[in-house]
Amino acid sequence: MARDTVHVVGKLAASPESVWAVARDFCGAWHPGLSSIAAERGESGAVIRRFTAQGEDTVYREQLIYLSESDRVLSYTHLEGIAGAERYTARLSVAEAAEGGTVVNWSAEIIASPTRASQIASGTRPIFESGIAALGLAAKVPSPQPEITVPTVALETIILPGTPQLALTATPAKPGPLVLFLHGIGGARGNWGAQLQAVASLAQAAALDLRGYGDSSLGFRQSNVDDYCEDILRVMDHFGKTRVVLCGLSYGSWIATSFAMRHPEKLAGLVLSGGCTGMSEAGPEEREAFRVSREVPLDAGQKPADFAAAVVNVIAGPNASDAVRAALLASMSAIPAATYRDALRCFTNPLERFDFARLTMPVLLMTGEHDRLAPPAEIRAVAGRITDAAPRADVRFEVIADAGHVCNVAQPAAYNRPLTAFLARVLA
């Protein structure tokens, strides 16, 4: 098999926002080469377009495998219709041109026999060229995002007795998978209040106090990530759920991905905020330095409350309101020293390096624009790696504007928009 590529660049007078408003519509009929087009849905909610081209009877099917509204990028892969193509993956991006207007990059990678790869590449180039020209003509002012009115629902506190005791805040029962929120190393289940309300109309949701946090207790020994995974299974069993969407923040994202490595068949979706890989790709020296630096104040007899203000200065964005800073300070200050030490040691002793090929479920990654611990460039790269490795990728990546590390607390409305759109799709 041979590899061939196509790369077409077009410059348009219209603004990036108006071009993207058209280009982002994966199943839209804006390309002049189309005779017909219709949307389909994959088994796990993946977006698929089924279309025919002008003057042809061949039916083509392509799946959207990557989308970032904040970056204005989408990627898709061929499923059916291109004879002789072992693989055909394309990427379209829309960006502001230095001199004003818009630059559109449209590229494709083709794997086929040498002769066929060249033929497919030759046929692809004029399709991309005419498509970019059409975007310039079809560009439209994007509609403003409507304000989402979230009805308030009554939340229930649930305590699961045992060792450890586990505490949850849950929304009313609904059929289908459970949406389970996992907080960060400096957080608590209360950090997810706005998300519980936003998700309640779509699914039953719950926010868990991790071991030792809030109203949950530690176990008899040092925790490891397998223990957290067992806690998630225990929570699912309590709610009578066989499938779950895990939504983590930082430490919670690492735990959620660890669960996905062990139980991919139980996941209807995976939402990773402010992190993913944790310390699983760090070397022994880096992990030890991370642990030691954070245990120094504990060894000196301090509690998390004593250095909570310094932590908030790192995790809060530069424009964080007094209310956001107060919420972050409160959750960090409430952590017992033994819990913080237990979490640090678990985090710095990962049991594996993640194999992203095991992520067979739809994945949404989000991070704050001003996140210093999981900056956008880092999480964008992880999103790309998942897209490349997953057997049938279905990945979304978004940057939450004007947010720091705890992006769901800093900008709840902006965080909830991609979250609820993702859940509405994968839970349908």
Query: What does the pLDDT read at residue 145?
Result: 72
Q: What is the mean pLDDT of residues 401-422?
A: 97
pLDDT at res. 151 = 79
Q: What ranges do the domains of the chain cover?
A: 2-138, 156-426
H or E stretch at 329: helix 322-333
Q: Please tell me whether residue 15 adopts helix, strand or coil conformation.
A: coil
**Both tokens of residue 186?**
């400096």
Residue 47 pLDDT > 90: yes
User: Residue 32 corresponds to which amino acid?
Assistant: P
At 270, give phi and psi (nearest 5°).
Answer: -140, 125
CATH topology of domain 2-138: Alpha-D-Glucose-1,6-Bisphosphate; Chain A, domain 4 (3.30.530)
Q: Is the pLDDT assigned to residue 209 strictly greater than 80?
A: yes
Helices (H), 113-263: 114-138, 193-199, 225-239, 251-262
Q: CA 309 to CA 169: how far, in whole Å? A: 26
Cα three-residue angle 83-87-93, rounded to 5 degrees: 115
Asked if 172 and 158 touch (Cβ cutoff 8 Å), the reply is no
| 149's tokens | 């009115």
Instruction: Give the global pTM.
Output: 0.96
CA gap 418, 128 in Å, rounded: 28
- How many CB atoms are closer than 10 A to CB 45? 18
Distance of CA 77 to the CA centre of its chain: 20
Residue 292 has pLDDT above 80, yes or no: yes
40 SS3 class: strand
- Topology at the third CATH level for domain 156-426: Rossmann fold (3.40.50)
Given a cut of 90, whether residue 278 has pLDDT beyond it is no
Confidence of residue 17 (pLDDT cuts 50, 70, 90): very high
pLDDT of 163 > 80? The answer is: yes
Q: Is the pLDDT of residue 281 over 90?
A: no
> Is 80 exceeded by the pLDDT of residue 141?
no
User: What integer pLDDT is reported at residue 22 of this predicted model?
Assistant: 95
Q: Across the chain, which distance is largest between two alpha carbons, in Å?
A: 77
Rounded CA-CA distance 408/253 in Å is 13
CA 221 to CA 163: how far, in whole Å? 11
pLDDT digits (tens, 9 = 90+) for 95-139: 999 989 999 999 999 999 999 999 999 999 999 999 999 999 988
